[in-house]
Structure 1
Amino acid sequence: MSKHVLRGVVAVLILTLTAVGAVADTPTQGESAPTLFLRTAAATSSPGAAPPGAAAPSWVKEAKRGGTINLYHDSNPELWDPHRAATRHSAQATRSLYNTLVMYSPVPPTDQIVGDLAKSWEVSADGLTYTFYLHEQAKWWDGKPVTADDVVYSLNRMVEPGQPRPRTGALKAYYDSSRAIDPTTVEVKTKFPAPAFLSFLAADYMVILPKHVLEAGIDINVPDNIVGSGPFKPAGFQRGAFYAFERNPTYWKEGLPLLDGARIHIITDKGRALTALMTEQVLGHIPASGSGFTIRQAEAIERDSRGRVKIQRILSGPGGIFVNFKRKPFDDPRVRRAIYLAIDREELNQAIYGGQAGPATVFRPGSVTPVEEVRQWPGHRYTADGQKDPRDLEEAKRLLAEAGYANGFEAEYMYRNIWTYGDEAPFVKAQLAKIGITLTLKVVESAAGLAAYAAGEYDIGRIDHGITIDDPDEIFTSIYLPGGARNQLGYEDPRLRDLFEKQVREPNPEKRRALLAQAEDIIRQGETHWINIWWFPQVTPINVKVKNFHLGPTIHVLNTLEHIWFDPAAKP
């Protein structure tokens, strides 16, 4: 085995696609986690923090201690079982209760992977075997040690056949098996050298659960039943009102957590959230993702608060309209393509984001197909004066007539009462009316809407998909392969499955790009269940009194309060 004892900072396998299938001959400190294959993951210096669980790093020693802060969230938790969860609404409620094997660095550069339960790890020369060494002092809240058996049990549960695993199921593509070598050593084997494996493993859904609790039949989807290893414990949950955390006084990481607790208020109305932010009733949106404010609104908050509220932003992922392909008339690919062609993406972008959302590419904009070429795709075309290309509307009407719906049809458009969905709905209704589709708009509470989507109780839905990791694999596993977070009804195109299996193993970046372009050509025909409308930006408001708050590379990492502290005297 070629050892890479990383002391908490990953230098594993491939950090860009140019190195797929290779393992460095010598340890490399502080390299970035794998990113989208055309974006360079530059080697940097160590983030300056000792491995979590070891002697406290400098930022812990310098931080202020104590205080319970008020934050807000725009939705009830979807689920309290993180392995079953599909959205950040669960990750934000559960990540502070548990630990992962590895995590993204809580201090810049936040695209580095560091240890959490793992104090170090090794990767074999062929890139197929990971050996993780656990912190001996890690304990569950009931006093039992966190062991290698817990890790093996949890990894197997993340990919459990026949169970809903919309986020953790992404590991199925890579994970082969694991075994406990001794109580604090775990060996994990992958099916092939996988640049995305460790990045997925660092996502906030991939938490390690207590084997002894789950094997006793205890339902961890009930907050009061949770036995975690994390820095905070549940301190109350009232649906539609709040959930709260209190400090774990026996936490195994020296000097952490820094807060005494936090109360997360459920505020779905953006006007109420704005008032609460400006009056400091809340100090920000819970880390680490978006608030539902548009960029214009966020800029106004920062300006009108005179710098007391700062805004962090990130291009989060593809946003889409999705159809229930198991119901008529959406079982007909011609109907799905007609909707794809009729959507006016530019009108939505200008109305909601002032034109600052990214184009509706399959993969990250510019990574596979040049944006200029995307603008020539049917469904994405515009006339010289900025109007929707009439050829696309004519073709959409022709397709509906050919499918037997020359006079259109009626359908229900279901959206959740968060983010910008309500602002968008009238535009979508008006756009589809141009080809004869009459929508009834139905707004639902967020968690209830997610449950309806998972159960297939909808005609047309709407969701923005925050990517778990910044790699094309994520788009396949979440949207276009059955069981993913945005494909819980199981849409499948064998051609896309085949291209995924080929590109995930392809070491040559140009050949991988060609395979991804083939997948993009299939998807942009508009016949899948998912209709891209943009790559959406997310903004997160946070008061300057909340310290050590940093967005990670995606909204599905760093959803923990472990590293946050409170400085009541801080000023802009």
Structure 2
Amino acid sequence: MPFQYQSDIPGGLNSMDLRRFWHPRTLLALGALALTVVIVACGGAATTPATTGDTSGGGGSAPQQAAATPTLNPFAGVVEPTPTAPLNVAPTAVPVPTAVVAIDQRPDWWQEGEAQHYRGDFPLVATSNPGFWDVHYGGSMNTVLIPSGPRFNQILEYNPVNPNEIIGDLAVSWEFYEDGSEVGYVFNLHPDATFSDGHPVEAEDVAFSIDRITLGQVEEGVLRARTGFLNNFVVHGTAEAIDAKTVKIPLRFPAAGFLPNLASDYMKVYPKHVGENLTQEQANTGKTQAEALTAINAGSPDSLIGSGPWMLREWEKDSGYSYDANPTYFKEGRPFFDGLKIFLIRDTARRLSALQAGQVYGSYQPVTGSNRPEDMARLEEDTNGRVRAVILEASGVQAFFLNHQKPPFDDPRVRRAMYLGIDRDNAVEKAILGFGQPGTFFAPGVVEDLEALRANNAAYGDREAALAEARQLLTEAGYPDGFEITHNVVNSNPSLSTAETVAPQLREDLNINIKIQPTDLATMYVGLRDGVANFDGVGTGVILRDPGDIINQFYLQDVLRNPHNWQNDDVDELIKLQNEEVDPAIRQGHLEALADILHRGESHWLPVLWYSSGGAFDCRIKNYHYPPTVQLVKKWDHVWWAGGEASACDHSANADRGYRP
């Protein structure tokens, strides 16, 4: 029998109360607490999931030992934290931790995690098959970054225990320099960092990786979906190894946005001795660590490896993938599990059942739009707090992609008619049950003011006027009776629920008939890239709330989310101006002018709503701190399992809801 929620919880919250209590605006206190570096022990007596593994050292008893990781039967029945402030670009050294931390000087959380090391495979659940394995190339969190990213490191990273702070990852120190007209950064690398084949991580690898990311400057058709933003700052071929552990990266101009973007989880460092021998197709191939090493040792590399905390052990489409901990990881003692076992369950009810039954301990992403916040909140109630909801507000944007090279969207009047015709408030209420807000081109409140849009833009306020103009535009474009289109859309929420909400609304209001063709995420992205449909739909989690992230993903050329290279001269000029401007007020003016152009509704990308993303952790998972956005802190090298029973996590009459670190 499919897993179903009842409309009321006996003796608890009814469905309306649940929605009100869990609405992200009620989670301000949760967000503040979650960003504090606090370790909360959970022990006592409640149901202990039957899985393998044990924790050695102090800190509570482990789950019951089993012969092997359980076979999962997939058919078994906050206010977002303040975004990182712009970094000072003055030519002074940026303070960072000491290069090599002595064992007795490591932070308390690091030592505690090591003491709680989990023996065996830790079971988690994800929603999507891997797609492209090259993190420089691919743009999907769920199909690229989530399965492939933990194999690698960046130069910098967002601090996993204080995610509003940028710290060194491979770099142990860095400084801004000025040399005549040249400006840039010099990075010093960790002396003990090695790739998983034993080769040291050196400055040549960093320079190679920067050149690989910016390769589109000198070669046609190079896709860099979420890393291409570096092209705004770095000229291809200028990154330089000064010595084995020192690399210089010159910039086009002093740029406050360079370091925040360089710390993104997508800006991975690849081994030059492997990567320079790979075709793009080979880089996108998901070979296991054993297969990759065999090819490397034979002198014919055919897939990527990294320096990160995890090595791919195996993966099987529609089933799952697993990792082994990297035994030579330079962050000694991490990660805090022998291995990770990721089960793929697309169906929401089955995924919830696996979490509720304790067959898996949490969501691997950890948060994604496919895990609806209302479902995660209900799961916490149903487990009396053993499984805790993880919710980030307005963390992703659900949008439609209009193929401007195919009729009817090759006509800008039709694109504007769609912009005017969509009822965004209706989509928020029905598709995501109010856990979000109407779609704007930039992150909520950063550039556009929603109330001003409601007052001055018919698409957000005056439905009657918006529909009247849309009908007139369709008539002028030769579609007085509407038209029919196919919709290539992800077969999970909120993408599918948005399509199923907007399609009947547009049919009723504008006689636009949308034939919905749902598919898995990886296949959807291939279809988007190749233009198999004239109307695509997928949600996107922003990397940074800074407007440059949206520009990078949707309005540069040769990026995944601008697959047919929509372009506007005024947009290009404003992108250039805001990139180069260091005065925040002047830059904001450029961005507001850019938003005004986009709200003409003639581009290829049509935001419908901003949605909140959800996930769930067993309360005994420790040290996950809510990141500023859904795309950050993805290595799983700082989280541990506290063990013990779960009764201390049970809800009392006045217990706070939600996950605590």
Q: Deviations over 1:536-568 (max 9, x none)?
A: 211121111222222321222211111121223
In the TM superposition, what are the counterparts of 1:365-444 in structure 2 within 5 Å? 365-382=444-461, 389-433=463-507, 434-444=509-519
Distance 1:379 1:267, change over 3 A: farther
Distance 1:292 1:377, change over 3 A: farther
- Corresponding letter in the other structure for 1:139: T
| Pairwise CA distance, 1:186 | 0.3
The equivalent of 1:185 in structure 2 is 246
Which of these residues, 65, 71, 80, is aligned with residue 117 of structure 2?
65
Structure 2 residue 158 is matched with structure 1 residue 104: yes
| Pairwise CA distance, 1:361 | 2.1
Which of these residues, 154, 164, 167, is aligned with residue 209 of structure 2?
154
Distance 1:145 1:381, change over 3 A: closer
- Corresponding letter in the other structure for 1:558: V
Q: Deviations over 1:506-564 (max 9, x none)?
A: 23222222211111111011110111112221112111122222232122221111112
The equivalent of 2:583 in structure 1 is 508
| Pairwise CA distance, 1:220 | 3.3
Distance 1:407 1:125, change over 3 A: same
Q: Deviations over 1:399-433 (max 9, x none)?
A: 01100111111110111112322222221111221
Cα distance between partner residues in 1 of 2:261 and 2:191: 24
| Pairwise CA distance, 1:100 | 0.8
The equivalent of 2:90 in structure 1 is 23
The farther-off stretch of 561-570 and 469-478 is 561-570
Q: Deviations over 1:328-372 (max 9, x none)?
A: 111000000111111010011011333231332222222233321
The equivalent of 1:172 in structure 2 is 231
| Pairwise CA distance, 1:28 | 5.9
The equivalent of 2:539 in structure 1 is 464
Cα distance between partner residues in 2 of 1:524 and 1:377: 11
CA contact (8 A) 2:196 2:305 kept: yes
Which of these residues, 340, 354, 367, is aligned with residue 419 of structure 2?
340
Cα distance between partner residues in 1 of 2:203 and 2:349: 48
CA contact (8 A) 1:52 1:116 kept: no
The equivalent of 2:187 in structure 1 is 132
Distance 1:422 1:85, change over 3 A: same
> What SS class does the counterpart of residue 465 from structure 1 fall into?
strand
Which of these residues, 338, 342, 346, is aligned with residue 264 of structure 1?
342
Distance 1:110 1:16, change over 3 A: closer
| Pairwise CA distance, 1:291 | 5.1
Structure 2 residue 271 is matched with structure 1 residue 204: no
- Corresponding letter in the other structure for 2:166: I
The equivalent of 1:359 in structure 2 is 438
CA contact (8 A) 1:341 1:378 kept: no
The equivalent of 2:56 in structure 1 is none
Which of these residues, 179, 192, 197, is aligned with residue 142 of structure 1?
197
CA contact (8 A) 1:51 1:115 kept: no
CA contact (8 A) 2:213 2:227 kept: yes
Q: TM-score, normalised by structure 2?
A: 0.77
Cα distance between partner residues in 2 of 1:188 and 1:147: 14
CA contact (8 A) 2:93 2:176 kept: no
CA contact (8 A) 1:51 1:114 kept: no
Structure 2 residue 558 is matched with structure 1 residue 483: yes
Q: CA RMSD in A?
A: 2.1
> What SS class does the counterpart of residue 400 from structure 2 fall into?
strand
> What SS class does the counterpart of residue 175 from structure 1 fall into?
coil
CA contact (8 A) 2:256 2:582 kept: no
Cα distance between partner residues in 2 of 1:506 and 1:361: 23
The farther-off stretch of 297-306 and 507-516 is 507-516
The equivalent of 1:350 in structure 2 is 429
| Pairwise CA distance, 1:26 | 7.2
The equivalent of 1:123 in structure 2 is 176
> What SS class does the counterpart of residue 128 from structure 1 fall into?
strand
- Corresponding letter in the other structure for 2:505: Q
- Corresponding letter in the other structure for 2:617: I
The equivalent of 1:549 in structure 2 is 624
| Pairwise CA distance, 1:501 | 0.7
- Corresponding letter in the other structure for 1:347: N
Cα distance between partner residues in 2 of 1:15 and 1:73: 28
| Pairwise CA distance, 1:82 | 1.0
CA contact (8 A) 2:93 2:174 kept: no
CA contact (8 A) 2:253 2:580 kept: yes
The equivalent of 1:568 in structure 2 is 643
| Pairwise CA distance, 1:223 | 2.5
Distance 1:457 1:547, change over 3 A: same
| Stretches (4+) displaced over 3 A | 14-17, 24-29, 49-56, 377-383
Distance 1:207 1:54, change over 3 A: farther
The farther-off stretch of 240-249 and 501-510 is 501-510
| Pairwise CA distance, 1:463 | 1.6
Structure 2 residue 299 is matched with structure 1 residue 240: no
The equivalent of 2:359 in structure 1 is 281
> What SS class does the counterpart of residue 233 from structure 1 fall into?
strand
CA contact (8 A) 2:150 2:309 kept: yes
Q: Structure 1: any 5+ residue segments left out of the alignment? A: 1-13, 30-48, 384-388
Distance 1:372 1:215, change over 3 A: closer
| Pairwise CA distance, 1:217 | 3.5
Cα distance between partner residues in 1 of 2:246 and 2:564: 38
Distance 1:324 1:53, change over 3 A: farther
Q: Deviations over 1:105-135 (max 9, x none)?
A: 110x211111111111111258921111111
Identity of aligned residues (%): 32
Larger Rg belongs to: 2
| Pairwise CA distance, 1:96 | 1.3
- Corresponding letter in the other structure for 1:419: N
Structure 2 residue 522 is matched with structure 1 residue 447: yes
> What SS class does the counterpart of residue 473 from structure 2 fall into?
helix
CA contact (8 A) 1:400 1:406 kept: yes
Q: Structure 2: any 5+ residue segments left out of the alignment? A: 1-82, 293-303, 650-661
> What SS class does the counterpart of residue 228 from structure 2 fall into?
helix
The farther-off stretch of 125-134 and 512-521 is 125-134
Kindly tell me the number of residue pairs found equivalent between the two proteins.
Answer: 532
Q: Deviations over 1:16-57 (max 9, x none)?
A: 46x87x51757567xxxxxxxxxxxxxxxxxxx876876443
- Corresponding letter in the other structure for 1:535: W
Structure 2 residue 175 is matched with structure 1 residue 95: no
> What SS class does the counterpart of residue 144 from structure 1 fall into?
coil
The farther-off stretch of 503-512 and 60-69 is 503-512
Distance 1:293 1:352, change over 3 A: farther
Distance 1:318 1:291, change over 3 A: closer
The equivalent of 1:4 in structure 2 is none
| Pairwise CA distance, 1:261 | 0.6
